[in-house]
Amino acid sequence: MRTRAILGSALAAFTVLGVGYEVGQAATAVDATSATGATDATSATGSSGSSSGSTTNSDQTSSSSSGSSGSSGSSGSTGSSSSTGTTSSSSGYADGTYTGSSVSTRFGNVQVQVTISGGQITDVAALQLTDHDGRSVQISNRAAPILREEVLSAQSASVQMVGGATYTSQAYLSSLQSALDQAS
């Protein structure tokens, strides 16, 4: 090992780490200002929203329990909103706004609200996203719009998870599925 190599390596490593640190500081500063935006909960409309913030992974099996409460194994919350009977068009969702169960993850709870219009999923709003710390806020704020787009185009909760946002994705889709279960 020659001095030139050692000094060069130290200098290069120091510079690279320094740049990384500065970028990171800037990123956290931005997060701090934009973090609180998405998380205001506009409380659920016309839902019984029991929100049993339970197990992370309890795959809400989409057994189509059409209106019949009690039977399905999923987290309580039968979709009791007004328009249960008027199942329209292809996808078979009833119009209305449904709030999914709140799913807890290590990085905080996730809860979404889905809007069905004309039998189609027309909007998904995140009522609550992982907010354990700056990083998880950052990650989920990035993941949520991607997930929303995917759900709107797929018209179901069976979409790909967002890379690097596994927990958020799992919880988001799980909450969404419980909302869709109410709508079907």
Partner 1 sequence: MTATLPRTAPAEAAGTRRSVPTVGEDRLRRLRRRRFLADLLVIAFWASGAVAAALYLATGGLADWATAGGAVTGLGILAGLVGSDFVLAMLVLAARIPALDRTIGHDRAMAVHRRLGKPALYLLLAHGALLLVGYAMTAGIDLGAQLVQLWELPDMPLAFLSIGLFVAVVVTSLVAVRRKLPYEFWYGIHLLSYAAVLTAIPHQLSVGGVLADGTPQRAYWIALYVVAIGAIVVFRIAQPLIRSLRHDLRVERVEWIAPDVASLYLRGRRLDLLGASGGQYFYWRLWSRRTWWHAHPISLSAEPTGTHARITVRVLGSGTQRITSVRPGTRVIFSGPFGLFTDAARTSPRLAIVAAGIGVTPVRALLESGDLAPGEATVLVRNSQGEEGFLVPELRELAARRGVQLYRSTGPRPAGGGWMSAEDAARGVTLESVFPELDRSDLYVCGPQAWTDEVVAAARAAGVHEDRIHTERFDW
Q: DSSP per residue over 12-36, as a string?
A: HHHHHHHHHHHHHHHHHHHHHHHGG
For 27, how many CA atoms within 13 A lie in the half-sphere containing its CB?
13
CA 184, CA 180: separation in Å to the nearest integer? 6
Binding of residue 61 to partner 1 (CB under 8 A) = no
- 142 is an interface residue for partner 1 by CB under 8 A: yes
Least distance from partner 1 to the Cβ atom of residue 144, Å:
12
Stretch that binds partner 1, among 21-29, 36-44, 45-53, 73-81 (CB under 8 A): 21-29
Work out how close the CB of 44 gets to partner 1 at its nearest, in angstroms, rounded to a whole number.
Answer: 27
Question: Does 145 help bind partner 1 (rule: CB under 8 A)?
Answer: no
Widest Cα–Cα separation across the chain: 80
Residue 37 to residue 80: CA distance in whole angstroms: 30
Residues that bind partner 1 (CB under 8 A): 1-2, 4-5, 8-10, 12-14, 16-17, 19-21, 23-25, 27-28, 31, 56-57, 106, 132-135, 138-139, 142-143, 146, 161-166
